Structure 1
Amino acid sequence: MDAEKAARALRRINDYLAAGPGDSDEFEILVEGGGDHALVLPRQAVEMFAYILGAMARGQGVQILPLHAELTTQQAADLLNVSRPYLIGLLERGEIDFRLVGRHRRVRFDSVMEYRRHDDVRRREAVDELSQLGQELGED
C-alpha cells in the first residue's frame, strides 16, 4: 500500500471513529466487494489499524509484536534508539526488567515500552522546567 492510499484510508477511519459513539466497544465495517456482510471489529482493533495506517502514510515501517514478546538486548536497544551497551546499563541498574536465559538477557516488549513512556515524561518535565527557568531569567 502506498502512502497516499494509506492516508486516504486513515482519513476514512478517523472520520468513522469521530462519527461513532465514543463509548462504543464494536464497529461494523463494510468491506468493498464483500457483499452485504459487515465486519465487526473491537474499537481497539480499529484504533490500532488507524495507528498503522498513519505510520504507513508517513512512510514509516510497522512491526506488530505481542505485549509479552521477549526481545534480545539488541532488539530492545534498537526499539529505544540507544546503543546496546547503554541498554545493558539500564538493565543492570534495574530501570528495565529482564530475565536471564542461560547467559543471555531477554527483555519483555511491554517493559521496554513502559520505560519509554516514563522516559518521555521525564524528558517533557525537564523541558518544561528549562522553559520555566528561561522565562524567569528573562523577566529580570
Structure 2
Amino acid sequence: MEINIVKSTEGEFTFHAQNENSTITLCAGEELSPGVAAFRPMQLVLVSLGSCMLIDVLNILQKQKIIPEDYDVQVTGTRAHAVPKVFKNITIHYKLKGNIPPRKVERAIGLSRDKYCSVYKMLYPTVEIFTKFSINE
C-alpha cells in the first residue's frame, strides 16, 4: 500500500494525500491553516475506524439478507489535554433504519470488533472504544 502526500497551493500546512484512485485534502487546523476547509489527521483516524467497522457491519448483515434502508454512523473521540493529544476514548454510534433484528446488529458489531476490523485492532490497545446502535430512531 502506498500513499503520496504532496504540498497544496492552499498553504504551508495543507496537503493532498493521493492513492491510485483519489485525492483528499488535509490541513493542520484553523491555527496553522486559517480558512482551509479540510480534514485534520486525527479526524481521519475517526473516519478510518468508523468506516472500517461500518463496512464489516454492513457486509455481515448483507450476508444474512438484512439490508438497512438507511444508516448514519456518528464517531466521537475525546483527546488528552497534553501533547501528544492522543485519543483517550472513542464512541461509535450506528443509526440504522429498516426491519433489522437488534441481535443481528449486536452480533455484526461484535464480529467487526473482535475479528475483522484492522483499524479497531490497532487502536484498541491504547484507546477505550465504545459501540452502540439504534434502529429506526
Greater fraction helix = 1
Could you tell me the TM-score, scaled by structure 1's length?
Answer: 0.25
Structure exhibiting the larger radius of gyration computed from Cα positions? 1
Higher strand share: 2
